[in-house]
Amino acid sequence: MATPRTVAFHTLGCKLNYSETSALSRLFEAKGYWPVRFETGADIYVINTCSVTEQADRECKKIVRQALRQRPGAFVIVTGCYAQLKPGEIAAIPGVDLVLGAGEKFRILDYIDDLSKAQGKGMIHAGSVRDVNTFSASFSFGDRTRSFLKVQDGCDYKCSFCTIPLARGASRSGSLESAVANARQIAGQGAREIVLTGVNLGDFGHGTAVVEGERPKKEALFIDLIQALDCEVDIPRFRISSIEPNLLTDEVIAFVAGSRRFMPHFHVPLQSGNDTQLRDMRRRYRRDLYAERVADIKRRMPHACIGCDVIVGFPGETEADFLESYRFLQGLEVSYLHVFTYSERANTPAAAMPGAVPVEERRRRNQALRGLSEMKRRAFYHQHLGTVRPALFELHKDPALIGGFTDNYIKIEMPAATGTVNTIAPVLLENLSADGGEAVLTSCARMSGIYAV
């Protein structure tokens, strides 16, 4: 076939994946390809996958079918975590032509000079994850408001439920200087907020060198990174996407509390409020440490927003265990929960553990915690009625509205005429609506609108 000139991308999963997809798009553009929207039809489709749950795997297959409906005969490439974990399974999906693993992802252009549709199973280039020891920096850039900057990849933790180390390899980072340089580039393109991303973000600083199979001494720490960004990059806002509680040190919390640029917003995975499950999950902390971190944040920043990841239905989780976890979360000053239903993943220790929780019971526990999350979010919003917070305005799917987030992650919606995209302005959080929304007021003029939960 003739050399294709258009390429479309679809991203599944986390913010890290979105930053990497943007980097892949820029690689194609530099070689003369024209990125287009997925739904318009393209000569090449690149699907960047996630494999946190079985649902993500099914979603990949659905996206392949959608791509080929848009442009029958298009060349389909699948990469990302699912591609590293199950390359043969993906290559067997009808219409998939090329599967690239973690070590091959950013060499994608090396594989497409002579494209031809697969006559059977797609071609696979996916080496052992043990050989993945390079760091490829990436960042997203879309509406010029917010950018996700990847500063770390891989994970040395061995949580019993998680496939990420199998999909992305050992923890590694670029240099502190390169992270600062990338942040400056983003700021120079007009973004107003940078969200730091990674697989295990707080483990920043490993570098990529391996001497005789041993991990090198860290070249920098996460605290060094955020201090350098705060001091050396001229951008109004940084956010920390997610950080493990054992890596969220007192020093990091104190720094954010006094920072001019780092927002009072933390997302701290918990996974369970029961120490038995935390032990079986092979987490590197117990719930008392988590409670201490939350209390320290709230002591220094009473207005801070704290998000929390929780898994329900982990093997061996009894009803009593779940209720203990529920009560623990109920008493914590966290602002919202991301609730995940446990699903068995191949090649993980948890998949072979006894005490499987029935699927319907997993779903029931998920719904119970989602209800608790909504109550906590509403309570957090209610605490801020009558206060003034700076908000970054951004595009809204409804052209009659403008959206945005306050520094402490309260989501706002207002009439489009009352704000300008990619500007920051103080707003008064005035009303809490019946459905959980809030009205807002600027410091100088009234603006009717809602806060959407």
For 328-359, the pLDDT digits (tens) are 999 999 999 999 999 998 899 999 999 999 99
pLDDT more than 90, % of the chain = 55
Instruction: Judge whether 1 lies within some domain.
Output: no
Looking at the structure, tell me whether residues 245 and 298 fall in a common domain. no
Name the band, by pLDDT with cuts 50, 70 and 90, for residue 83. Answer: confident
Indicate the pLDDT class of residue 102, thresholds 50, 70 and 90. confident
Provide the number of structural domains found in the chain.
4
Same domain? 289 vs 403? no
Cα→Cα distances 396→228, 313, 315, 346, Å: 33, 36, 41, 39
pLDDT of residue 444: 35
- 62 lies in which domain range? 6-127
**Range scoring the smallest mean pLDDT among 2-16, 92-106, 149-163, 267-281:** 2-16
Same domain, 122 and 137: no
Whether 211 and 321 map to the same domain: the answer is no
Q: Is 144 inside a domain boundary?
A: yes
Q: Return the top range by mean pLDDT from 3-7, 11-15, 348-352, 377-381.
A: 348-352
The CATH code of the domain that includes 377 is 3.30.750.200
The stretch 113-129 carries a mean pLDDT of: 76
- Residue 240, in any domain of the structure: yes
Mark which of 70, 100, 127 sits at the end of a domain.
127
Name the band, by pLDDT with cuts 50, 70 and 90, for residue 442.
very low
Higher pLDDT: 435 or 420? It is: 420
Interhelix angle 250-258/222-232, nearest 10 degrees: 10
Distance CA 161, CA 327 (A): 23
Q: What's the mean pLDDT in 44-64?
A: 81
Mean pLDDT, residues 148-175 taken together: 92
| pLDDT, position 440 | 43
